[in-house]
Structure 1
Amino acid sequence: MAIRDVLNDVVPREWVDRSYPSLKSLSLWVLDLVQRVQQLQAWTQDFSLLRVTWLPGLFAPRAFLAAIMQSAARINNWKLEDVSIMVEVTKKEPEDVTIAARDGAYIHGFFLEGARWDRRTKSLEEVRGRLAISLMPVILIKAVQRLDYEGQELYLCPVYRTQRRQAAELIFFAHLPSMRFPASQWTLAGVAMTAEAIDDEIFAERKI
């Protein structure tokens, strides 16, 4: 029953069936929902692209990426089937982004699991200590006609909506540089990014 779920800090099944994928407790789920609404309210002030978008907070994140690809294809007269998403992990935090990207969009709010991101080398590195999950910096995503990563060792990192890592929750794949280790190491380690983490309350509060 829904009442029992609420008392146990569990999102009621009836709500889950009508909302978005999440593994959060009810209290954290409600906070997450409020932040999603706040982002939508900020976006509808003038309907222009936010300086940085909390992509995990969108109800249809794949539609956002599709819109970026469609816009680039239309502007550059590309065939949509030839367009791909390219990512660049920056050194910025959301509050460091003062204007929206001229090409593509800045996004934030993803967690890296099974590896860590070295901001100095802008590359994947092995986890230090016991912290197997960490919050990623702001990521620039843009649509390109041809992925150009010549000469780089890259790991094709799956990005999921939750830590369940179900195929239906896959958002996109991110090509992440790996300077010191072969990409196969991260494949064997099951490295992935997720749009939420069960313990994400230990991280700094999101900035919309």
Structure 2
Amino acid sequence: MIEPQIEYNFEHVLPGKISSLFQRNINVDANPIEPQQFDYQFLSKNVLFNQFFHYSIFRDFYLAYIDRLPLYSPPDVLGLHANAEINYLTKTAFEIYSNMLDLQPEQHDIEDNSSREQFVLSLIDDILQQIPPKNDLNSINQKFKQVSTPLTIVLLQEIQRFNLLTSIMWKSLNELKQALNGQISFSIQLEEINKHLYHGQLPSLWRSYAPETKKSLGNWMEHFQRRNQQYEKWIQTGELKIINLSGLHVPESYLAAIVQIAARKNQWPLDKVTFYTNVTKWQNIDDVDESLQSICLIEGLYLEGAGWDTTNHCLTEQSNKQLIQMMPLIKIIPIETYRTNMTNYLLAPAYVTSNRRNTMGTGLVFEANLYSKKDISHWILNGVCLLLNKD
């Protein structure tokens, strides 16, 4: 047993690069001084571990044994699932491919340029047809003027950002179309948009006005259409009982509005209110068998680093080669802070994309409570989290 002061130094003082609660949890649970904390069930039969054995071997024997160690270390040596390696290699291959596209020279002969321009022009026409008309903010504001709620404010802000995105898309595509037809000259920005459209990538200009994403252009356009449909339904009904947070520019504001409404209704101090989550048994709206009054349900979340047992309603090990799993509907339940007591629940971060958080700390949306029959440290070391978007 080590001294508490030394343990505290290893876990809290020395790790200078730790910048979030979740990184600190990993560091604490992976404390090398406490090897019994590790779950070694994934260790292969070739890996031996005995914390009670005291080694007394000559130096040359040590070196000879080290020379026989393989250069490749499988994930199970660190207590990780084999899927962790697949996930890492997939992301690395995608990054290499993207960098190779960026380095690709743009020199083509006349015939190639002609076919390339025709392809991009056809793609431009197709995208322009999918861009919806701008929503009238004044008419929306007048519609909800008598029953204004925090969610109404969120809706107006979301529509304003979505209108800006559609305007940028419409303007840039029409300018690119004119440039390809020889009516105006190419700018650096138009060259970049032309290149990304040709390679099926999302232009950087659009990316800066849209929610964070790692999707290709085709998948992003499908998601763009679903976002528009969700906004239209929201405007028509005034309130969404089931929402896809990935369709919002600022999903945190929606959750904050839910908490604010509950605080007003129950006369709770706003600074003393939080929320917890409950993973339901429902997969979609058709499965819901109880009143949805005062209940907020979230759809479209993906679980990474673990699987979800729909029978026992708890975390379980991933299936081989299944990197993410669609979660059932998740219920958001506002509650007073002092009443939260989630024993045997993993506090899992929910991120916008698989990039998780960037160096500025953005990307974390909320924290979900996921029930576990295993020790929580097992899932922390496996990096379990929820994702709003799949790649």
TM-score, structure 1 as length reference: 0.89
Q: Which residue of 1 aligns with 2:123?
A: none
Q: Distance in 2 between matches of 1:72 and 1:137?
A: 24
Q: Is the 1:154–1:183 Cα contact (8 Å) retained in structure 2?
A: yes
Check whether the contact 1:23–1:162 (CA below 8 A) recurs between aligned residues: yes
Distance (whole Å) between structure 2 residues aligned to residue 46 and residue 137 of structure 1: 23
Q: Is 1:140 equivalent to 2:334 in the alignment?
A: no
Q: What is the SS of the residue equivalent to 1:168?
A: coil
Question: Are residue 88 (structure 1) and residue 281 (structure 2) matched?
Answer: no
Correspondence 1:60 to 2:250: yes
Q: Could you tell me which of 164, 172, 186 is aligned with 2:379? A: 186
Deviation at 1:184, TM superposition (A): 0.6
Long gaps (5+) in structure 1: 199-208
- Alignment partner, residue 76 of structure 1: 266
Structure 2 counterpart of 1:46: 237
Distance 1:17 1:43 in 2: 24
Give CA deviations for 1:48-91 in whole Å, capped at 9, x if unaligned. x2232112212221111000100011111111111111111011
Q: Partner residue of 2:217? A: 26
Aligned length: 195
Task: Give the fraction of aligned pairs with identical amino acids, expressed as a percent.
Answer: 32
Correspondences of 1:148-163 after superposition (within 5 Å): 148-149=340-341, 152-163=343-354
**1:98 CA displacement:** 6.9
Partner of 1:12: 203
Please identify which structure carries the higher helix content.
2
Deviation at 1:46, TM superposition (A): 2.9
Q: SS in structure 2 opposite 1:44? A: helix
Q: What is the Cα deviation at residue 142 of structure 1?
A: 1.6
Change (3 A) 1:98 1:22: farther
Shift in Å, 1:19: 1.1
**Gapped regions of structure 2 (runs ≥ 5):** 1-191
Aligned Cα root-mean-square deviation (Å):
1.5
Whether the 8 Å CA contact 2:306–2:384 is kept in 1: the answer is yes
The SS at the match of 2:229 is helix
Which has the higher relative contact order, 1 or 2, with Cα contacts under 8 A spaced 6 or more apart? 1
CA distance in 2, matches of 1:171, 1:191: 15
Q: How much has 1:100 moved relative to structure 2?
A: 6.6
In 1, the alpha carbon distance for the partners of 2:288 and 2:296 equals: 11
For 2:321, which of 104, 115, 130 is the aligned residue?
130
2:308 equivalent in structure 1: 117
* Cα distance in structure 1, aligned partners of 2:321 and 2:301: 19
State TM-score, norm by structure 2: 0.48
In 1: Cα distance, 2:244 partner to 2:202 partner: 22
Q: Which residue of 2 aligns with 1:203?
A: none
Please tell me whether residue 173 in structure 1 is matched to residue 367 in structure 2: yes
Check the 8 A contact 1:104/1:143 in 2, yes or no.
Answer: no
Larger Rg: 2
- Contact kept, 8 Å, 1:51 with 1:98, in 2: the verdict is no
Q: Distance in 1 between matches of 2:363 and 2:382?
A: 20
Cα 1:108/1:125, change in 2 over 3 Å:
same
Q: How does 1:190-201 map to 2 (within 5 A)?
A: 190-198=383-391
Give the Cα–Cα distance (whole angstroms) in 1 for the partners of residues 293 and 271 of structure 2: 23
- Structure 1 pair 130/67, CA: closer, same or farther in 2 (3 Å)? same
